[in-house]
Structure 1
């Protein structure tokens, strides 16, 4: 006689049942979307007057909507600052009128697209509905993401474009989608001029994530060139406009030199310092026009870097700190431009502190998720390179730019949906691990049978 051990499946733990509910129940997703939408609608009730950078963009959009062209404050044609955001906003203004309400609703539409992309990309990158929902939930309650919705700044619209371009390339099934991605990235370049560096990054991840590596290279290289080519063609009409109206070949804008100089001079601190003496002296020169001043600023910045390599390297950590350490900079717009700020300063500041704590947790999770994913993929016998690296590549993009130019916390805004989806994956991974540990041991029955 001998005995066989019959194992019965153990019932799932309470944590496992909750995780399954979170990842499968339709009402959970609807509640997350309701929260996401409601918080962004609520912030639109705050009156914020566009000033400073936001005021410039808003005024340019009004001018374009009225058919006056892209003009400076003196009524002369200009290429100062990339025109993509004012152009997009002007199209909306021309249909519905120029107002803070129209601006807010347009940003709300972009914010909803960001949420949709966060959910879809979370599913695609991590293969988990629960992780995708967790990422969307984190973004839904992230105060700084909410705070930008009423502002006439580029961040919300640009983030939607960036994520849409990434999504098209990740999910493409035919060559025409390469054209669509090129158009999206081209217009995104008109919003932020350095955007095209993201395209090679995406193709590099796709190239290295699967074997065979080298036989796939020619096709992917050609497809990357198609996307870059279409993006450049999308920018080209603006470049031609600049030459026609201003007499110079200006690819996108005339603020690149000033951005370089404000981050690299004798009194630079790593942050954006537009009031430095060297910048003020250059702006005061009447013998130079807009393009010549920008070219001179670029020369001065490059000369300073060449003559002060040690100082330039010493500024790099300070620039990185200014880029990644603080968050909640949306409060500055309310502080200067919202009439309600004076009567509710304590509330605004409390939200700012809560946001900073929430941001710190997100970034710690983002860093930890990198190593957890490496261990998990090694344990499962998978290549370590995969689409999961895209959020880290997107984070690398402003990091490299800020080292050369200057650090500003608003530059990491487009990275945060990617941070949220990665942190959401880590949260669900930890949740699942705890659920497995809390699972009761399997029940067994010993069955005796004859030999």
Structure 2
């Protein structure tokens, strides 16, 4: 005798109805967007002067806007830092004027586009409208993300480019779209030189997520080559310019060796340490030009690693800690460049501590999402790999870089929208499971 279990229709519980409301009500999404926009506009009213790296980028952008070229502080052609961000900001300056207002509006627009991509990628990676909306909300109230909007640093614009490139690859339907992705990744490389590492990572995830893996591999390799070729078209003019202006072939920038040395020397502590005597002596050498100095820095950095493999490995945990444990570094820009900081230092520090706690919760959700998704897919006998792995692959990208160079918390900034997506998904998954357990049976 066989028995059949009938699942009677059930009346949704209060939690289930609230989840449905959150995921479907248009006013909810509009409210999230209003909060996202208002917080970022509000921070633009803080009086702030660019300092340190931000001052360099702002000055280079102003120089480009004025038609003077990409010059160092002494007025000589340079490639010391990648040109992408100053070049794009310079275009905005040439049209609207070199001012904090132009910078703020540009970053505000970039930040809004980041929000849109967070929503779109959240839907695509985790197949959940509720999780995508919650990810946008988590990013909306994230203090460090808000704090960067008035700053002349690369992070906001670069995050937009990284997300746009990933989106173009994920949703592609033909190779022309891959050309567009390559152009975006090329510009992103001119902002941060190591960006092209992301391209093989994207296609590796794509390869792992579906069968037949063997038959799909040649096509995916060709797709990756299309992206890289398009990126090379964007990068090439700058490389040629460097050959003409500096007398040497420099692909993107001449600070790679310097960065390597500052993270690997006898006084290194896992972070960016430019004040070491060996670095100071090198930068003071007048017999070397910019390219030669960077090459010498690279040689010294590599020599130190070869001669001190134990110390190099011992720095790895410190570099990882510097990269992933602290957050809220945007405060430093206000400490150095906001005239009103001294009068409101307690407020800034309170926000910094609140941000650190919030960041910790986001990273906890990020870690839990990996475990829960793995267990769920295994339980449902689904293929483990999928586009949901992209946030974790992108987190490995700055991790690998910091292990070689140095750990700085700002390096994880572009990964944080993806962290919000994963953390939002695990929260929604937990709430859905709780709502299912509390369902009410209704007899008809």
CA shift, 1:5, in A, is 9.6
CA shift, 1:444, in A, is 4.3
CA shift, 1:380, in A, is 1.6
Distance 2:81 2:6 in 1: 72
Residue of structure 1 equivalent to 2:258: 258
Cα deviation 1:324-367 (Å, max 9, x = unaligned) = 00000000000000011111000000000000000000001100
CA shift, 1:436, in A, is 1.2
Q: Which ranges of 4 or more aligned residues in structure 1 deviate by more than 6 Å? A: 4-7
Distance 2:187 2:6 in 1: 63
The 5 A counterparts of 1:258-407 are: 258-407=258-407
Q: Say if 1:5 and 1:444, in contact at 8 Å, map to a contact too.
A: no
CA shift, 1:434, in A, is 1.2
Q: Say if 1:6 and 1:444, in contact at 8 Å, map to a contact too.
A: no
Distance 2:233 2:248 in 1: 18
The 5 A counterparts of 1:234-245 are: 234-245=234-245
1:148 and 2:148 matched: yes
1:170 and 2:202 matched: no
1:13 and 2:13 matched: yes
Q: Say if 2:13 and 2:435, in contact at 8 Å, map to a contact too.
A: yes
* SS class of match (1:153): coil
Distance 1:120 1:59 in 2: 35
Distance 1:194 1:201 in 2: 13
Q: Say if 1:7 and 1:443, in contact at 8 Å, map to a contact too.
A: no
Q: Say if 2:11 and 2:442, in contact at 8 Å, map to a contact too.
A: no
Residue of structure 1 equivalent to 2:430: 430
* SS class of match (2:50): coil
Cα deviation 1:169-217 (Å, max 9, x = unaligned) = 0001111111100100000000000000000000011111001100011
Distance 1:417 1:73 in 2: 35
CA shift, 1:74, in A, is 0.9
Distance 2:303 2:7 in 1: 75
Distance 1:211 1:345 in 2: 56
CA shift, 1:437, in A, is 1.7
* SS class of match (1:185): helix
Cα deviation 1:385-422 (Å, max 9, x = unaligned) = 00000000000000000000000000000000000011
Aligned length: 442
Give the number of the structure with larger relative contact order, counting CA–CA contacts within 8 Å between residues 6 or more apart: 1
Larger Rg: 1
Residue of structure 1 equivalent to 2:416: 416
Cα deviation 1:249-299 (Å, max 9, x = unaligned) = 000001000100000000100010011111011111111111111111000
Cα gap change, 1:375 to 1:74, in 2 (>3 Å): same
Could you say what the CA RMSD is over the residues aligned between the two structures, in angstroms?
1.3
Distance 1:416 1:282 in 2: 36
Distance 1:401 1:357 in 2: 26
1:131 and 2:126 matched: no
Distance 2:225 2:420 in 1: 31
Distance 1:72 1:10 in 2: 70
Q: Say if 1:103 and 1:150, in contact at 8 Å, map to a contact too.
A: yes
* SS class of match (2:10): coil
CA shift, 1:10, in A, is 2.0
Cα gap change, 1:291 to 1:17, in 2 (>3 Å): same
Distance 1:254 1:164 in 2: 27
Distance 1:130 1:307 in 2: 53
CA shift, 1:439, in A, is 1.6
* SS class of match (1:365): helix
Q: Say if 2:175 and 2:226, in contact at 8 Å, map to a contact too.
A: no
Cα deviation 1:134-170 (Å, max 9, x = unaligned) = 1000000000000000000000000000000000000
Structure 1: state its 5+ residue gaps.
446-451
Distance 2:275 2:365 in 1: 36
> TM-score by structure 2 length?
0.98
